[in-house]
Amino acid sequence: MPSEPIIREWLVERAILGELPEGVELTEAERRRKDELQAQDAGILRSYPASVVAARVRARLDEASTPPAVPLWRVALPVLGPLSALAVALLVVGLPESTLDRPLSSKHQPETTRIKGSGLVVVRKTDAGTEALRPGDNVAQGTQLQLAVRLVGPAHAVVVSVDGRGIVTPHLPDRADGPAPFLEEELLRLPHSYELDDAPAFERFILVSSAEPFESALVIDAAEQLAVDPAGAREGQLVLPDSFTQQDFLLRKVSTP
Amino acid sequence: MGPDGIDIEAVYTRYGPMVLRRCRRLLKHEQEAVDAVQDTFIRLLRAEERLDGHALSSLLFRIATNVCLNRIRWRRRHPEDPDEALLRHLAEQNGAEDRSLAGRVLRRLFEQQPESTGLIAVLHWVDGMTHAEVAREVGMSVSGVRKRLRRLEIDARRFQEMESKDAV
């Protein structure tokens, strides 16, 4: 048992606010603590003024609730359509033969349900070749991942990841702007493998697809907004129009021995 | 005024110091605590958690605790081990047999338990609330709270045993 009397800070705080539950009384130590804390209040409000905090809170709320700006494609569809197709063509032509086009390691055949539906396919590079990962698998810093996008039909798609530090990384396209590539293949291996850094806790890949063209910046912005909150980064949905499909693939980061 | 007709400045002026102290106590990091205060008021304004007849101080205290727990979960594997302070609270105030068990409890809290269990555990073990007080805070029955805490302890002990076996 603790030797010093426990000060119930939560009750002390309520006493300061005059919201102490009926019938509850503070101990002598808690009354002294109340005086100490009350003396801090003015200093806290000077250091962090209400006007400044309120403005920041309002701004963050506005950022989160503002619907995405009208995408460029709505006004420039005739131009962007061919550009998207060109981007995809370049992407495909530049690809080396994919390990994903061949059967994966026989020891780790992916589940049929995952490979047949649309979504992300993630494989880990190993000394022996490749190993298919499942959502929730453990991975460590330094792991080399190869991503692929599986679609049930042609679509415009963007892939980003959010890590445990709230860092957003674009994977498809590998830059934060430009149109979302139009994918016609059933399975597209991304052109670059990805090495996990020392970000803690998790690495979450998110595939956003749509039948209509869109700017990848829309997804990046939404992901950065999501990444502000650690819980959101791990589990939340991107704030995007309903016509967008979102699928994620979360990997748990474990410490390297 | 914010959504739901809440005057943010007025609410912050009244409750902000309490919320900041709560966040400082759990996070032990000034800038993170300041950010967590903003997160807390954003959650309030988004009406993610309702008053449900509770005093606003109670609601904000609960939201701030959840915000901080989420932040601690997020940074748990950071080399600075910033949840050491919370671990110490658990070890000292829990009355648990030893620090090791408290560590297991904490680890389970931050890995697999739902947010509400984390809140219950912190209110009980860190803030020293009785089961009845926790129950009132989180809107559960006393037996429900007791059950959650018991389950958490059992889970932590089992985890500890598994780790011990692995170490042999």
Quickly list H helices, chain A: 9-16, 28-47, 50-65, 72-93, 112-116, 216-227, 230-235
Least Cα distance to B5 among B58, B45, B38, B43 occurs for: B45
The answer to whether the Cβ–Cβ distance between A13 and B57 falls below 8 Å is yes
- Closest residue to B16, CB basis, from A53, A58, A200: A53
The answer to whether the Cβ–Cβ distance between A57 and B70 falls below 8 Å is no
Q: Which residues of B touch A17 (CB under 8 A)?
A: 14-15, 18, 55, 57
Q: pLDDT tens-digit profile of B111-136?
A: 556 667 888 888 888 888 889 989 88
The answer to whether the Cβ–Cβ distance between B37 and A48 falls below 8 Å is yes
As beta bridge partners, residue A179 has: A215
Provide the b/e sequence for A2-31 (b: ≥16 CB within 10 Å).
eeeeebbbbbbbbbbbebbeeeeebeeebe
Structure tokens at B99: 């620090």
Distance CA A88, CA A180 (A): 9
Residue B35 has pLDDT above 80, yes or no: yes
pLDDT confidence of B104, banded at 50, 70, 90?
low
**Per-residue pLDDT, B50:** 60
**Per-residue pLDDT, A37:** 93
Distance CA B101, CA B154 (A): 10
Q: How many residues does chain B have?
A: 168
CA distances from B14 to A45, A54, B8, B32 (A): 10, 13, 10, 21
Shortest distance between the Cα of B108 and any Cα of chain A, in A, equals 14
CB B152 within 8 A of CB B101: no
Contact of A41 with chain B, judged by CB distance below 8 Å, is answered with yes
Quick one: DSSP state of residue A170?
E
- Closest residue to A17, CB basis, from B3, B14, B76: B14
Average pLDDT over residues B135-140: 85
Average pLDDT over residues B79-104: 49
More confident residue, A24 or B78: A24
Q: The pTM is what?
A: 0.51
Distance CA A143, CA A203 (A): 11
Structure tokens at A47: 């250091």
**Per-residue pLDDT, A151:** 81
Shortest distance between the Cα of A68 and any Cα of chain B, in A, equals 19
**Per-residue pLDDT, B97:** 47
Q: What value, to the nearest 5°, has the Cα angle with vertex A185 and ends A184 and A189? A: 125
Contact of A6 with chain B, judged by CB distance below 8 Å, is answered with yes
- Strand, coil or helix: A252: strand
- Strand, coil or helix: B68: helix
The answer to whether the Cβ–Cβ distance between B18 and A253 falls below 8 Å is no
Q: Which residues of A touch B42 (CB under 8 A)?
A: 57, 60-61, 64
Q: Per residue of chain A (257 residues), give pLDDT as tens.
A: 445 677 888 899 999 999 888 888 899 999 999 999 999 999 999 999 999 999 988 888 776 655 444 333 333 323 333 333 333 222 222 223 333 333 323 233 333 223 346 788 888 888 777 788 888 889 998 888 888 888 877 888 999 999 888 888 888 887 767 788 888 777 788 877 788 888 888 999 999 998 888 888 889 888 888 888 877 888 888 988 888 889 999 999 987 65
Residue B27 has pLDDT above 80, yes or no: yes
Half-sphere exposure of residue B24, counting CA atoms within 13 Å on the CB side?
Answer: 9
The answer to whether the Cβ–Cβ distance between A53 and B74 falls below 8 Å is no
Shortest distance between the Cα of A12 and any Cα of chain B, in A, equals 10
ipTM score: 0.75
Q: Which residues of A touch B38 (CB under 8 A)?
A: 53, 56-57, 60
Mean pLDDT of chain B: 74
